[in-house]
Amino acid sequence: MDNTVTKMKALTGTNFNLPGQKKFYKGKVRDVYTLENDLLVMVASDRISAFDVVLPRGIPFKGQVLNQVASHFLAATKDIVPNWVEAVPDPNVTIGRRCEPFKVEMVIRGYLSGHAAREYAAGKRTVCGVSMPEGLKESDPFPEPIITPTTKAEVGHDEDISREEILRRGIVSEEHYVQLENYTRALYRRGQEMANKQGLILVDTKYEFGLYEGKVYLMDEIHTPDSSRYFYADGYEERQQRGEAQKQLSKEFVRQWLISNGFMGKEGQQVPEMTDEFVNLVSERYIELYEKVTGLKFEKADVSEIPARVEANILKYLSSR
């Protein structure tokens, strides 16, 4: 067995006290520092979550992959919608504007996969109030991409919600919601075009938006393996015709591993042991995704003292503003 990755350290958390710090929030994967003047420092840790549960071991280089994939796609879509990013001072860090988030995540699906496929297999033909046609097989394309929003939960599971319910409950105004839908479709089209150039299919993804000085901004990460699912285009049609599972480049294989080991995040279930071999495999898959999805070579950051490196790079940037 190749132990090179398992010997590497993982960044499972930070505890900085940054200049002008007002608030600290620890998400499932990110550590978020709110500073004065509406500045956000977002540290992508190596934590990994599935079924809304943070798994017990960090994945080396996962945070770097997420941060740099997101940075790549945010830079490539800022002509469609402005985004929150100001700087990427460290492989694991993005600094930008603090936006007031809309309390929904905009999920868009071009293919029957993941959660939608599980609902479909259970006999349901609507998800989030959107109809799904009869006669589809898992991984078939929808006639048109469908938007299946979820409410953004502070803790626990995000919940499916329909457009009608969002508007009825006043979670988002109709004017803003139309904007979010239009941006979501345009971003997904761009993501699909970029994926196709890399021999991939962007199957489904999610976007988060917020308001900054009254204007809609794209927030958080986009088109990363934590927020998106990719199929390999090569062999897609043949696998569909034979009824075989598609070759995926996403976090779904982690979920499938957990399911096969009796864990779906339900009460009383135990997270299976994450062996060195499994951690190693997940790390390699994330690095593969980075290179495949961006077309760039992954340059492993120095992991000898990760928290010290991250803090030093943040402080250097803040002092130069």
- The pLDDT score that the predictor gives to residue 97 is 97
Mean pLDDT computed over 84-97 = 98
Mean pLDDT computed over 12-19 = 96
- The pLDDT score that the predictor gives to residue 72 is 97
d(CA 148, CA 172): 15
- The pLDDT score that the predictor gives to residue 250 is 75
Q: Specify which of 155-159, 220-224, 316-320 reaches the highest per-range mean pLDDT.
A: 316-320
- Residue-wise pLDDT for 218-238, tens only, equals 999 999 877 899 999 999 999
Instruction: For strands 200-212 and 228-232, give the pairing.
Output: antiparallel
- The secondary element (H helix, E strand) that includes residue 49 is strand 49-50
- The pLDDT score that the predictor gives to residue 110 is 98
- Asked if pLDDT for residue 215 goes beyond 70, the answer is yes
Assigned domain for 263 exists: no
Report the percentage of the chain scoring pLDDT > 90: 86
Mean pLDDT computed over 288-292 = 90
d(CA 111, CA 117): 9
163 with 71, same domain: the answer is no
Residue 236 belongs to domain with CATH number: 3.30.470.20
Least confident of 13-17, 80-84, 157-161, 208-212: 157-161
- The pLDDT score that the predictor gives to residue 152 is 75
Write out the two tokens for 120.
């479909």
Domain hosting 281: range is: 4-100+276-320
Assigned domain for 96 exists: yes
Residue 7 pLDDT grade (very low, low, confident, very high; cuts 50, 70, 90) = low
Least confident of 83-92, 196-205, 259-268: 259-268
- The pLDDT score that the predictor gives to residue 289 is 83
221 with 287, same domain: the answer is no
176 with 81, same domain: the answer is no
- The pLDDT score that the predictor gives to residue 154 is 61
Contacts of the segment 281-287: beta carbons below 8 A, 24+ positions apart: 282/48, 282/59, 282/62, 282/254, 283/5, 283/8, 283/59, 283/60, 283/61, 283/62, 284/5, 285/225, 285/249, 285/253, 286/59, 286/61, 286/62, 286/65, 286/66, 286/225, 287/61, 287/65
Assigned domain for 146 exists: yes
Among residues 199, 233, 250, the one where a domain terminates is: 250
- The pLDDT score that the predictor gives to residue 67 is 96
First to last CA, the chain: 46
Number of domains in the chain: 2
Q: Write the single-letter amino acid at 163.
A: R
- Residue 217 phi/psi, 5-degree rounding, is -120, 150
Per DSSP, 154 falls in state S
Residue 49 belongs to domain with CATH number: 3.30.200.20
Instruction: For strands 215-219 and 228-232, give the pairing.
Output: unpaired
106 with 225, same domain: the answer is yes
Residue 249 pLDDT grade (very low, low, confident, very high; cuts 50, 70, 90) = confident
212 with 92, same domain: the answer is no
Contacts of 28 (CB under 8 A, 6+ apart): 47, 49, 52, 54
d(CA 302, CA 229): 28
230 with 106, same domain: the answer is yes
- The pLDDT score that the predictor gives to residue 253 is 82
Assigned domain for 255 exists: no
- The pLDDT score that the predictor gives to residue 52 is 84
- The pLDDT score that the predictor gives to residue 6 is 46
d(CA 278, CA 282): 6
Mean pLDDT computed over 25-42 = 95
Write out the two tokens for 225.
């393996």
Q: Sheet holding 85-90: strands in order across?
A: 21-26, 30-35, 39-44, 93-97, 85-90
- Residue 262 phi/psi, 5-degree rounding, is 80, 25
- Asked if pLDDT for residue 210 goes beyond 70, the answer is yes
93 with 138, same domain: the answer is no
235 with 128, same domain: the answer is yes
Assigned domain for 261 exists: no
122 with 41, same domain: the answer is no
d(CA 14, CA 179): 35
Mean pLDDT computed over 73-94 = 98
Q: Is there a contact between 84 and 222 (Cβ–Cβ < 8 Å)?
A: no
- Asked if pLDDT for residue 5 goes beyond 60, the answer is no
Burial of 122 (0-12, 13-18, 19+ CB in 10 A): exposed
Assigned domain for 262 exists: no
Write out the two tokens for 162.
């329909």
Report the percentage of the chain scoring pLDDT > 70: 96
- The pLDDT score that the predictor gives to residue 303 is 93
- The pLDDT score that the predictor gives to residue 43 is 98
Assigned domain for 269 exists: no
Assigned domain for 256 exists: no
pLDDT, the chain, mean: 93
93 with 181, same domain: the answer is no
59 with 155, same domain: the answer is no
Q: Count of CB atoms within 10 A of residue 158's CB? A: 15
111 with 217, same domain: the answer is yes
